[in-house]
Structure formats: structure tokens, C-alpha cells
Amino acid sequence: MTDLDHVDPSWAVQREQAEMLAASTIIPAAYQGKPSDIITAALYGREIGMGPVTALSHINIIQGKATLSAEGMVAVVRAAGHSITGKSSPHGARVHGRRRDNGDEMDLEFTEADRNRAGLNSKPWQQYPKAMFWARAVSQLCRELFPDVLSGLSYIAEEIGGEAHPADLAHSPTEIEPTGPRLETIRGRLNDLTPERRAALRIQMRNRELPESVDMMTGDELDEMEALVGDAEAGAFDEPFPIHDADLVDE
């Protein structure tokens, strides 16, 4: 079959090829019988350096808007020489991006709190939470750091009312830190802190750029967190009591 990127660019030729593809059963079901959507996806794919067949595998048209799988976003960004890395857990995901051209970097999280605020509890979220957290974090990072690379294709289908892309559900990002006795111990110590000490500890966590949830921490970050909890338990972050003149006693 002739590649859509290397044919006569006339609409008549593209339409003919799109109709042939639409009649095929080996393309994604969303494009079967929809030659106009096939042409649209192929053109979007060309904008970001994807061949037409790859574009059909990663681009979905949702309510007239083109979306891209998170897997496709990572592939396009890395093909442009930039970097996306990160980890995920059933409770959240963290991604790190770095641009090749100017060295700009960004870290982004999508946490359990973000999921709850958005009311995300569909079947994919129940069955594949680690993959869904990863996809959300990647799409947000791409909108913030790599919008020029994706040419507007910086939303996954699930974000605008479509179904989660199969490529993203199959993705298995590296775990952040498996749930275990260590995390439960830290949680217990946090729960035992007074509200004032928990609030003070949160400020210390933000200052050190630690994730807001222990579920999303790496081993080194958990080491730092344990030290901070110990300091909080010892009162290291307590506000000093004000001293008034009436409290002073002459000896």
C-alpha cells in the first residue's frame, strides 16, 4: 500500500486511499468506515513526524478534537531529542522532562488527590490505576514543556471524554516504591502528629520539593521523609512561644 506521506497530495488521491483503509479490518475499529477521520489523523500525524499507520494507532478523534496516546507523546518527544522519564504507582505518577535545545526541566505529578478532585473512577482507573496515573502526568507535562513538539496533540482521549487508549492501558511504568511496612510505619507516625506539626511538616516537604504523598516517593526521598518526621516529632518545626513583658520575672 502506498504511504500517504509520499503520494500525490491531491485530495482525490488521499480520499481514495482513505476509503481503502476504512474498508480494512486491520486498522483500529475507531477508524473503520470513516475515511475522513483517517485523512485527518494522517495529516495530524504528519505534523508531528508520525507515519500514517502509526498515526492511526495513536491518534483518536474525540468530538472533533484530535488526541494522542501518552505512549505516542513520549515517542514523539524523545524522537525530537528531548527527555521524558518518570515512575508510577497505583497511587500516583511522577514524570520529569528536559528539553534538548535550552535545557529547561520540569517535574510534574498526578496524585490520588488530583484523581479524587477530578472524580476519576471509571473502569480503566479501577483496573489499571498505575497506567492511568502515568498517562495523565505525561499529558500534563507535554502541555507545559513540549507544546511545540506536539503541535496541539497534547491531550489523551480520556481527558476530553473519550475512552482510554489501549496503548496506554498496556503500559507498565516503573514502580515508585511498593507499598509495604515502611510506608505504613511512616503513615502511622504522620497520623500521630498534631495538626500543627503536620502543617509545619508540609511546609518542610514543599521546601525540599518532596512529593505530597509518601506513596509517590523514591527510596532516597523516603529516607529524607523519615528524618523530617523524626524532627517534627521532636518539635523541631514548632512555632516558638512569644514572650511578653508580663512573663518576665526579676530575680
pLDDT of 176 > 90? The answer is no
Q: So where are the chain's domains?
A: 4-62, 70-169, 181-233
Q: What's the whole-model pTM score?
A: 0.68
pLDDT at 3 over 60: no
Pairing of strands 83-89, 105-111: unpaired
Report pLDDT digits (tens) over 159-173.
998 888 888 888 877
d(CA 9, CA 12): 8
Q: How confident is the model at residue 31 (pLDDT cuts 50, 70, 90)?
A: confident
> Could you give phi then psi for residue 86, rounded to 5 degrees?
165, -175
Where does the pLDDT of residue 22 fall: very low under 50, low under 70, confident under 90, or very high at 90 and above? confident
Burial of 9 (0-12, 13-18, 19+ CB in 10 A): exposed
Residue 227 has pLDDT above 60, yes or no: yes
Q: Which of 212, 88, 218 is nearest to 141 (CA)?
A: 88
